[in-house]
Amino acid sequence: MLNRDLRRVVVGVGNRFRGDDAVGLRVTERLEGRVPPDVELIESDGDPVDLIAAWERARLSVVIDAVVTGGKPGTIYRFNGDHRLPAGFFRRSSHLLGLADAVELARTLNRLPGELVIVGVEAGTVEQGADMTTSVERSLSRVVDLVVNLLESPSAEENGTIGVANA
Partner 1 sequence: MTNPANPIRRIDVDYLARVEGEGEMHVEVIDGKIEKVEFGIFEPPRFFEAFMRGRMYTEAPDITARICGICPVAYQMSASHAMEDALGVTVDGQLRALRRLIYCGEWIESHGLHIYMLHAPDFLGYESAIHMAADYPEIVEQGLRLKKAGNDVVNLIGGREIHPINVRVGGFYRAPTKAELLTMVPELEWARDAALKTVQWVSQLPIPKMEQDFEFVSVCHPDEYPFNEGRLKSNKGLDIPVSEFNEAFAELHVERSNALQSVIRERGAYHVGPLARYALNFDKLGPLAQDAAYEAGLGPVCNNPFQSIVVRAVETLYACNEALELIDAYETPAESHVPMVAKAGIGHGATEAPRGMLYHRYELDDEGRILEAQIAPPTAQNQLTMEDDLRVVLEENLDMSDEDLGWRLEQTIRNYDPCISCATHFLDFTIERKESGAES
Which span sits near partner 1 by CB under 8 A: 1-9, 30-38, 85-93, 150-158? Answer: 85-93
Three-state secondary structure string covering 95-135? CCCCHHHHHHHHHHCCCCCCEEEEEEEECCCCCCCCCCCHH
Residue 144 Cβ vs partner 1, minimum distance, rounded to whole Å: 21
Q: Is 28 helix (H, G, I), strand (E, B) or coil?
A: helix
The answer to whether residue 18 forms part of the interface with partner 1 (CB under 8 A) is yes
The one among 29, 40, 41, 43 contacting partner 1 by CB under 8 A: 43
CA distance linking residue 35 with residue 77, whole number of Å: 21
The alpha carbon dihedral of 8, 62, 42, 32 has a sign of negative
- Fill in the per-residue mask, 94 to 133: x = in contact with partner 1 (CB under 8 A), - = not in contact: xxxxx-xx--xx--xx----------------x-xx----
The one among 7, 8, 12, 15 contacting partner 1 by CB under 8 A: 15
Q: Which is nearer to partner 1, 13 or 151 (CB)?
A: 13
Q: Which is nearer to partner 1, 93 or 154 (CB)?
A: 93
- 67 residue type, one letter: V
